Structure 1
């Protein structure tokens, strides 16, 4: 995975404590601290649930009882609340509780809820303690999000009183994998694009990234229907996850959802759904918008690390050698590479960093041109104090051209003119590095066109360059140059270079 920027543990812990679900769970844990009679397993009575709703200022919310129950369950699951079962036989207590529930919705107190050890860590522990508690709670909510709605089973109870699980169209492994994939895609978008880190992703586009095959130009009706069904399911899951602080979520407009033959789906036409999938709908926000929060980035990365995924963070390379830095930065997004390079340089003196980078940039291996280009980009962040290190390599075949460019950019005096051989060698080296990262991009085509147009007889001199990549570069120039005559000259020069080698 590409590296991500993480907030400090202290900042993340503050975010965790401010998340609605954990904040409510902490308030309820303190409410139960002196001891509160509850049913077996920690279930609140109807009266206590109403009191919890009032305590959490949720009385005006039609979903208040549900939010209060979820917060209480989180407090129990994370150890903010401890349940002390009574000495009575559990089976008898459960039976009595069932009878009471059937009679008046109340359950016979069979246990006592008190504050748990984790509640003390909320105020007296370290930021990591708080994050560990939050992560435990997030995992329980994530598991609930991937589970089916058991309320849908009420009408499916057979005459014998047993639930027909085969009638549920639900595969727990597939559902968990799909949700993990969605969160993984959000994580990847956040890492690759800084705008995605502060902006929201349309739900149709996010679902399409998981459902629509990469090689499909136009989604079929079946694929569109699959996207529609997945959006409705994911909307429910995101509504459940949002209070954890994992995501910022704007739900799907209720007016777009309908129930047909017992199935909930988007009622828009096929054309409208296709527009939503392709992110062309004018008001695409009606279909849901989601963003992974900084706390969410931390959580998804933690899950990836547990699964054995290499998920680096910006700053991991700060104490590594220059060879590791130059080999790794080309795979980073531009902003992350810039930040990583600055952190690496911050651990060293300008002159010392320059010497280390230049030493690592040498070589005639296949990856050397890209190392040198990365070295040049990194050195552009170093101040004039590095000048002595750059002057030391002016006569170096690999680094002399690079050093002259740096000195000129930093306004240095008395820079010796490069030989024609060095100029052409640097040109081939730079093109080889660009080819390693850009394939046949339009920018590379423009670069090739400019080089040939500005230098008469370019190919007559270029094929003689003593660089391991000369033939490959000339062959690529023949492929990229739009002028047929110039392209033919490039191919002929490539043949000469190979014959010479």
Structure 2
């Protein structure tokens, strides 16, 4: 899975390994692979590639409780067997012959044998992590199968000699695998991003468009829409294959819809198209006809595991619980407020409040670029702390970087005997606060009001603030010059920013 598209992702909330292992064991295809592994024995015959002998497929289908009269049963049993072999649930001994083609003298077909593998015992006696490792191996097999063209395309690509003409098929294995990986990465990102799809499925055209339509394209052209439609139909086939392994919940494209138009997008509702921005506004039933997909909790685990293997930074809420406060604040500085709060709560659980508060305050210091946001997250982490944290907070009242934060914390709790801050600390805290807000959300609609509030009670604010020894002073003043709602104050901020820039060494 490519690590280029999203080098750092929002943190994901995962279920416990025990819950995920139960989900894995309940995934139909994995459960059927386990059942076939238990069925394998001395009478089981396999071909050169470890595949189940054709005449044994009906028996395998019956073991799985499938209708032997259903033409799809044999194919499904074959797939479940392949998963069992690839995951080590079954050990196979392939046939041996002098020709290396699976046939002995007189072209008599020869078979190998199969037996339950050592890893089968992990299903019942292994730890949850062992079960999840088996499931991840099964997922790799299913993903590889999903990237292969369907049988009709393969038949159409046969040349006169019965060989597959790959140029005619227009199939590149690496390209197909990369495309599917990219789709799953986008689905993961849409799921874990706050305000994204965490609580609902994604329309298939939206997911297809995320791979096809350039970010800077306004209205998609007919050619681009045709590509999106083709991609949508490929994904429809692929998600049908991925659903049985428990990766996704999937509602396929309505077959009647496919019959209504050469390209399914030709008859789409206005808000369900390639752009996808208004998909939620369209009639739910209309949108669902184009296919809907959602990663399951097990699917989130599986895609994250593949991303980590590919070198993608894909954090999970709770993984910082055993790390120090410095690692915590550095990490959650990049998180949204809600995700940061969840991670902080995990970190605080089980820690003594006085020691945790002291460690957080120490980690919040620093005049580097990330300092303001660390202090904001520190303030967030200390917000639920009780009286036990007060000694640690009072100990930094004279600290030039933390004294303002400490006073705010104490004032919010109605603490007495809190010394008033000197003007320099007030101005420093103002710069630090605005710098943190800019680093968190950028230039939001609420920021001008915050600026106005922080400067309204200080006569001659801009005549003094430019002298503040804070690395973000000039940067904050330039932002105030753009955003302050009072035009006179904005002009003063721009002048102050120039002075602040002038006094700092180049």
TM-score (norm 1): 0.88
In the TM superposition, what is the alpha-carbon distance from 1:300 to its structure 2 partner?
1.6
Is it true that 1:83 corresponds to 2:86 in the alignment?
no
Task: Report what 1:105 is aligned to.
Answer: none
Task: Report what 1:315 is aligned to.
Answer: 318
Separation in 1 of the partners of 2:472 and 2:55? 79
Task: Report what 1:21 is aligned to.
Answer: 29
Separation in 2 of the partners of 1:461 and 1:43? 79
Task: Report what 1:36 is aligned to.
Answer: 44
- Contact 2:251/2:291 (<8 A) preserved: yes
Task: Report what 1:189 is aligned to.
Answer: 190
- Contact 2:90/2:116 (<8 A) preserved: yes
Structure 2 vs 1, CA of residues 121 and 109 (structure 1 numbering), >3 Å: closer, same or farther?
farther
C-alpha RMSD of matched pairs (Å): 2.9
Separation in 2 of the partners of 1:496 and 1:155? 73
Separation in 2 of the partners of 1:365 and 1:162? 63
In the TM superposition, what is the alpha-carbon distance from 1:137 to its structure 2 partner?
1.4
In the TM superposition, what is the alpha-carbon distance from 1:71 to its structure 2 partner?
1.2
> Which stretch of structure 1 is more off in the superposition, 75-84 or 208-217?
75-84
Task: Report what 1:163 is aligned to.
Answer: 164
Task: Report what 1:387 is aligned to.
Answer: 390
Structure 2 vs 1, CA of residues 370 and 112 (structure 1 numbering), >3 Å: closer, same or farther?
closer
Is it true that 1:152 corresponds to 2:150 in the alignment?
no
Structure 2 vs 1, CA of residues 151 and 222 (structure 1 numbering), >3 Å: closer, same or farther?
closer
Q: Secondary structure at the match of 1:301?
A: helix
Task: Report what 2:412 is aligned to.
Answer: 409
How many residues are aligned here?
A: 490
Task: Report what 1:104 is aligned to.
Answer: none
> Which stretch of structure 1 is more off in the superposition, 142-151 or 110-119?
110-119
Structure 2 vs 1, CA of residues 34 and 272 (structure 1 numbering), >3 Å: closer, same or farther?
farther
Q: Secondary structure at the match of 2:289?
A: helix
Q: Secondary structure at the match of 1:290?
A: strand
- Contact 2:449/2:485 (<8 A) preserved: no
User: 1:23-422 alignment to 2 at 5 Å?
Assistant: 23-33=31-41, 35-44=43-52, 48-59=56-67, 63-86=72-95, 93-94=102-103, 110-193=111-194, 196-258=197-259, 265-266=263-264, 268-269=266-267, 275-278=273-276, 279-280=278-279, 281-282=282-283, 283-422=286-425
| Aligned pair partner of 1:485 in 488, 492, 504 | 488
C-alpha offsets along residues 231-276 of structure 1, whole Å, 9 cap, x if unaligned?
A: 100111111111111111111111222599xxx8426248859735
- Contact 1:256/1:267 (<8 A) preserved: no
Separation in 1 of the partners of 2:462 and 2:26? 64
In the TM superposition, what is the alpha-carbon distance from 1:21 to its structure 2 partner?
0.1
Separation in 1 of the partners of 2:298 and 2:401? 45
Uncovered stretches (5+) of structure 2, i.e. residues with no partner: 1-7
Separation in 2 of the partners of 1:367 and 1:297? 30
Separation in 1 of the partners of 2:467 and 2:95? 90
- Contact 1:393/1:400 (<8 A) preserved: yes
Task: Report what 1:444 is aligned to.
Answer: 447
- Whose helix fraction is larger, Structure 1's or Structure 2's? 1
Separation in 2 of the partners of 1:98 and 1:277? 58
> Which stretch of structure 1 is more off in the superposition, 62-71 or 229-238?
62-71
